[in-house]
Amino acid sequence: RFSTVAALEEPITPPVGINYTQLLIDGKFVDSASGKTFPTLDPRTGDVIANVAEGDAEDVNRAVSAARKAFDEGPWPKMTAYERSRVLLRFADLIDKHNDDLAALETWNNGKPYEQAARIEVPSVARLFRYYAGWADKIHGLTVPADGPYHVQTLHEPIGVAGQIIPWNFPLVMFAWKVGPALATGNTIVLKSAEQTPLTALYAAKLLHEAGLPPGVLNIVSGYGPTAGAALASHMDVDKIAFTGSTATGKIVQELAAKSNLKPVTLELGGKSPFIVCEDANIDRAVELAHFALFFNQGQCCAAGSRTFVHERVYDEFVEKAKARAQRRTVGDPFQKGIEHGPQIDSDQFEKILRYIKSGIESNATLECGGDKIGSKGYYIQPTVFSNVKDDMLIAQDEIFGPVQTILKFKELDEVIKRANMTRYGLAAGVFTKSIDTANMLTRALRTGTVWVNCYDVFDAAIPFGGYKMSGIGREKGIYSLHNYLQVKAVVTSLENPAW
């Protein structure tokens, strides 16, 4: 079935070198204070790509001091908004120029198809920085019609030093969603990348400095969560923390923020998003979109359409076609042309996904296809489809974060609304129908931060993204993300002619 297995035994040599492995503090690449490093791996093989400086609490202290100084003394927050905007625009041009190297590094470190990184993700990063460059000089306060002889205005000021913790599934895209709005609004940053994927954040940060970012404005500390990440979340001199990752870690981050200096927290967490195929849907298109909604990025998407609800009238046909589509998915070395699907990120995720597949089989869901690993090296898993999945099965409740489609049957719209909402998550939903009435009803009833109608995974820079319920707090992208990085100051000036 998986015709590319042979090629997995001899991985293609990545067309890029690795130039940046140290921490980036105050505009300089430096070793960690402890001198420690950690290996970063190639998910195709599990082999070490490079050893990267391992930051911990002491390095976070150094990075926060640099960010504090850059914020308090400038020039960044005091530059004109137009000058900041131009730095971001120059950076976007540099991303375009380095597109292929960034994409190759992303694929090497993460395992995602090179074509996906090079044609979709890296270009979307340049697009997002242009979007936020556009906002930098359009952030207005208000004049407020208060009672009394007062001139009242609001100033929208940067919040200060932003701590940002990002995951490994979209390393550069997550870097952009966090760094773009924080810089546009004049903040300084300490960012901790995921321990699995430290390489592209360092490369991108280097380009930002080339674009004219002053030293200390963006500091990158590579390292582990319980050490570097926790130190950042609990730092007394960090004014705001933004996190993307698991719900369990999100809770820890919020707790650390509360226990230290009550810094405001934005969280973008897990999901178990419903994808609802109504009885009037064009089945072939619904199958393709549901397949994309789940298997994109090896199933490692917070917004993955991981509960495929299909109307009973079209269920059997849908399952048969979904299975055929999963079997046609081209799995292989992500550097190979035409490959849709590479390895999972690491052995932890690989084992976790295989455990969920086992649990699906044991709970008597029907394994339509897949269900096993591929090859003897790296972290490849067969695209897997389960039908006859019931709401109370673990595979229908937990975030699997892998290439495992679970297909459930429904009869009535009221019923599917109830079942779709019957989860602790509320990140996204997909609705597939030809009826405007059905679409309107579902979009209003689903308790999720995004509803895609007859489309999925549309991640434009202008569209806000975030979760209801335990999928998170706050929104990223669009105008909404600016508010995460701004303080509002009310300035009240008496209009009376003072006697003194």
Residue 472 to residue 470: CA distance in whole angstroms: 5
253 binds ligand TXE (CB under 6 A): yes
167 binds ligand TXE (CB under 6 A): yes
Burial class (CB in 10 A: 0-12, 13-18, 19+), 22: middle
244 binds ligand TXE (CB under 6 A): yes
189 binds ligand TXE (CB under 6 A): no
- Tell me which residues in 294-323 interact with ligand TXE (CB under 6 A): 302
Nearer to ligand TXE, 277 or 461 (CB): 461
195 binds ligand TXE (CB under 6 A): yes
236 φψ region: left (φ > 0), alpha (ψ -120 to 50), beta (else): alpha
Q: Give me 366's structure tokens.
A: 């029907």
Nearer to ligand TXE, 42 or 195 (CB): 195
396 binds ligand TXE (CB under 6 A): no
Clarify whether 115 is annotated catalytic.
no
Report the residue from 29, 150, 224, 468 that binds ligand TXE according to the rule CB under 6 A: 224
229 binds ligand TXE (CB under 6 A): yes
466 binds ligand TXE (CB under 6 A): no
Q: Which of these is catalytic: 268, 340, 399, 476?
A: 268
CB of 210 to ligand TXE, least distance (A): 25
Least Cα distance to 307 among 434, 470, 446, 173 occurs for 446
Q: Which residues contact 369 (CB under 8 A, 6 or more apart)?
A: 1, 323, 326, 327, 382, 383, 384, 385
Per CB under 6 A, the segment of 153-161, 263-271, 319-327, 386-394 that binds ligand TXE is: 263-271
Nearer to ligand TXE, 77 or 181 (CB): 181
Clarify whether 301 is annotated catalytic.
no
Are residues 203 and 109 in contact, defined by beta-carbon separation less than 8 angstroms?
no
Report the residue from 55, 77, 245, 375 that binds ligand TXE according to the rule CB under 6 A: 245
Nearer to ligand TXE, 85 or 244 (CB): 244
165 binds ligand TXE (CB under 6 A): yes
Beta bridge partners of 346: none
Least Cα distance to 299 among 251, 352, 233, 220 occurs for 352
Task: Tell me the number of residues near ligand TXE by CB under 6 A.
Answer: 28
449 binds ligand TXE (CB under 6 A): no
57 binds ligand TXE (CB under 6 A): no
252 binds ligand TXE (CB under 6 A): yes
Residue nearest to ligand TXE (CB): 225
- Tell me which residues in 268-287 interact with ligand TXE (CB under 6 A): 268-270
Report the residue from 333, 399, 457, 476 that binds ligand TXE according to the rule CB under 6 A: 399
Report the residue from 75, 226, 316, 463 that binds ligand TXE according to the rule CB under 6 A: 226
Residue 324 to residue 329: CA distance in whole angstroms: 9
Report the residue from 222, 349, 438, 481 that binds ligand TXE according to the rule CB under 6 A: 349
110 binds ligand TXE (CB under 6 A): no
109 binds ligand TXE (CB under 6 A): no
472-473, strands of its sheet edge to edge: 28-30, 23-25, 218-221, 188-192, 161-165, 240-244, 265-268, 472-473
Binding site for ligand TXE (CB under 6 A): 165-169, 192, 194-195, 224-226, 229-230, 233, 244-246, 249, 252-253, 268-270, 302, 349, 352, 399, 401
Give catalytic residues, as residue numbers.
Answer: 268, 302
